[in-house]
A and B are shown apart, each in its own frame.
Chain A
Amino acid sequence: MAANWAERISAFSRSPTRFLSGTTAEAFLAELLRELRDDRASYSVKVLLLSPLCEHPTLLCPSDSVGEETALELMSVFAQCPPKLVGFRCHLLLALTSVLICTSCASGRSRASQDFLDLLLQIIQDPSDLHSDGSLRSICATACDCLRELEACCPGLLSQRLELLCGLRQQETSRLHQPYAALQTLVLRNAVYQLTQEKGAGAEHLKALLGGITSVAWEADQDSGLMNNKDSAILSSLILGPMGVVPTLQTGPDCKELRSVLSSLLEESYLLTPLCQAALLHRLTEVVAMVPGIPPAIFRAQLLRLLGTSEVCLLHATLLMKCAYTDSLFSAEDEAFILKRLVVLSQHPRLTAPEKLFYMDCILHFPENRPIDSGDDTLPVLLTPRLASALAPTVFNDSATLLSRFNLLSLVHLEEGEEAEEGQGLEYLYEHLTSLLYIVENRGSREIVVTFFRAVFLFLFYFHHVERYSTSLTEQLCKLYLHHTHLAPHLINLADQTQDRLSESNWAVGLLTALQKVITSLTQLSLKDLKWHLKMLGRVAEEGEIPQRNTLSFLSRVITPSFSSLCESGDWRQGNNVLGVCRRLLVHPSLDSLLIPLADILQHLARCYRDTDIQDHARLYYTLLTTLSREKLAGVMMQGATEGGREVKKRSLSSLMSEGEELTSLLTIHQTEKAIFRLTEAQSDPQQESKESDLHQDKVENCAEEANAALEAYRAQFSDPSFASEVTLKYQLAHTVGHDSRFDQLFSIRLHFSLTDNHYEKLHDISVPCLFRERPSPVVQLRLKPRQPYPTTLHASAIFTTQDGMSWHTAVPDIHVAFEQTFMPLPSPQTWGQGGKLGVFEGLWEEMCTEKEERAISLFCCQLEEAALNALVRKRFLPYLVSDPSHKDELKVLFFLPPQCHILLKIMSKEDAVHFNIATDNWQLLPHIGSYLLTITAAQEHPPS
């Protein structure tokens, strides 16, 4: 069993949704809790069982009430757990914290969360445990962590306990002082923030807060919690750099108490682990930023120690301090020192690569005392080319470091490029590219190749205007291509991206022209290279500016038998590559001058290429070229191309087949970005349905003995397994709100549904002929065949065609099938009257009262006025009513739920309340009917205004 649990828990954490589709969250949660209470299960397994609750509490506890119940369960497990099992108890505390916070029980100050808070406070204050045993200390530490998390998620929760926490920390001499300090600083920070939001709060309030005096005015606001009225601002870090505004608390210079708390925390900060120290410093930085009465100089004593540190998080906390206080704590010399320090750290041989990269990022976003502007990736003024030269990239760097350094140095020398073209830095960068190129030429790894092209892009991005280099780069890349034709995709990608990003530069066209030149002047070539050459020429042919005569003469040479064996080989892919170039030439602006040679090539392909498909396509292109006018040809070929152009590159088999995007777009199924339409439940009119049933109401025959006979006759119907096995739900198919005129008229819609659990049989697809935005929406009937009539969610998608002949695939918003949607009136024979139904009801009721097997009875009570009850019956129960509606003292309602479940209700108005006696032959339906009744009666109690 233990191994089984390990497997199941790991399956759950791998994919919770897939795991839960095989069961329900409810059932899984019940299983977990049962096992946790089971004395026979080992505690190592129990620790495992808590992980789904820690990691995905909202999946298992979808509502606050479930969360609340789960928390109560876990707390009782905690209470019964022997104190020795520290690990398990710690994990239990974590699970409780997760459940209470994520289900918002904690922010709602629910009963369970109050109890939990008391438990935690009790643990951290219990002096008997503290010094006896190291292991008990760890439960105390975990309790502190949980309190800190609760305070972090519900800011202000512990504001009233500041004095207590301060005292605990000060007394503590074991390592426990660290969790206390972390908790205290967070609570302090939130409490001070809270004060800044109070009008008129000042020194007195601050003093009261620290002294634990709770009678001050702002206490009234306590219960509402900050999260409710002040969105998430309090969760955010307050240190945002020069542009951020920090809320402040005006106290005047008199804040002795706060100052002494801060000093004591700072003095002992050295005793904390670097990670906790960094967090503490950051919190205190925020506090001091909020209280102008405390000068930032309070941190000064720590600064040297922090600036010399090898710990990345401590130096980072110091940088954030600089960001918050600028020149009120750091002089101009300090600033120069820190920047130099960052340059040193960015290349210090003793630090790891990720740390160095992080420091380099810190240089790019250096918090200057007097920033000139705060644009993205602007360098600090103090970073001179001289200083930055320490960060010059070398080929021995790993890719990430190399590119980061390359980018940084490019920024440093950006101005140099403009001022003096002979800049040495630029020279260095270009030579660095050359060194990389050299490695690529020597068959460098794929990683080097990718890095090289990224560096080239960066170089062009910053220096494309420096012609000396950009021209030389073109030459070098052409040479590289000739020796390594397989780099064609990289070169095409480079051309694409430089063209897109550097619209003012013509470099990409220059590169493509040069590549065309080197390819077309080749005197011999291998079939392997040819593939890449054709890809490249295809891309070249997309440029209207580039003359295509050379390309054409290259193509006609390639298909000549004396030059290559292409036509004889009949290679379909190669043929397609040739056609790909031709197709682009068909839409080239200089087509007029290319007409005859292009026609020759196409004709030759149509006649001689040893592949029928290629021949056919060549013939099609030939016909189009020779029979259509220029405009029409462009119209035919450009359709589709204009829609996406190069930007939308859909790699699909159909595009490979035709290499014609106008055909491709018709053959491809496109994906819509958003949902186009949705299914909404069609409102059926209960009145009308009940009238139908009235028609059969002939005579009343009410004999008890006949109940059994009726039941038998009723049951006999189920010998046909398909009898009453389906629920039919009606939905309207309608456009969603967003307006996209392409989708106003849709045709041949095919809806596909998939299940999210195992409670229903698979659904068939549904076809809808058309959907027009301006016409009434069609009604779709969904036939659900339940295995278990539980509420469920269906995923849906659809394929449809638009007016222009394109096919689309779209996601349809999920369909939620509520429990009551599976209700059906009793499927009694048509000829039966009220009496027969009543007979069945009585017969079933009697059986169910025996509570055997799956049967169960239950009672639901609520307070409803008579009028409200009547309205409820009229609105909800009429189709299912088997007793005479005029007999108000006891109403009998029967819900039939396919495949063969029944829920029977006897509704009676008693003095104090309305009683719903419930009987069912499937006890697992009880929670659903319970929550259904709760919802509908609550709605009746508080009708929507």
Chain B
Amino acid sequence: MQTIKNILRNINQNRIFLIMVLPGALWFLFFSYLPMFGTVIAFKDYRFSRDGFLASLQQSEWVGFKNFEYLFSTNDAYVITRNTIVYNVVFIVLGLIFAVGMAIILSEIVNKRLAKVYQTGMFLPYFLSWVIVGYFTFSFLSVDKGVMNQLLTWMGKDPVSWYADTTYWPYILVFLNMWKGIGYSSVVYLAAIVGIDKTYYEAAMIDGANKWQQIRNITLPFITPLITILTLLAIGRIFYADFGLFYQIPRDSGPLYAVTNVIDTYVYRGLKATGEISMSTAAGLYQSLVGFVLVMTSNWVVRKFNKDNALF
């Protein structure tokens, strides 16, 4: 009885906050949590029933973890897991450095109008789909008509068969990912830097701090919470790869699979003929679970250092 009373009192005390979260919470309920029941598909051999989706779910046979097996069954499993993780780690680290760096640079540039022009420019790649970006990379890397090979020949070097040679692809993919994403991700940091109280810098200048010291002692500490959160969230997606980047850009070229095959492309190729939704759901669940475990661990570590910076 006492506890119920307590809860009611708590609810009453928090009612203004509860009202604030209500629309969002309802949204999560309908668009995220209600569909989540569908995840059981991953453990079933999904067949269609005449009586609609729920009946199909019910009547399909339980198969345990069978739908997950293909993710682990072959040597490819190692390759795709390694590629996915390594690329994502590189993307997270470099993305962080470049995005923060670019945000600081943009915030420091004296001519604000120019800075805005640059910023707008950097945003444009975000609008081009990977398919379109793929056309461009191809016009650069095509064996006979590509700009790169014409350049190499002109310099007296041998042309490279770009779409058959794995050597350069890790760099190409990382470069393109940075190129496409920096404009977008630096905006968040820029907005945070812009929000820093100017009096801090004024005080620092009076103390004779140089630019570097100002960045290190004011700007960076100020945006650390944001960096932490964004990194934590990125870690949660570490098992998800950007399908377009790894499929469209290398033109699905077989000889490059060793460095371009990631979980998402593997699942796509494996299931495109059969369209097994049980197996694709299983893959998604697996990717989420790993991400979840990693975030929870990292979050726990973050909490040890600074409770305020943690996700929860």
**A, B: real partners:** no
- Measured CB to CB, the residues of A under 8 A from B are none
- Chain B: residues with CB nearer than 8 A to chain A? none
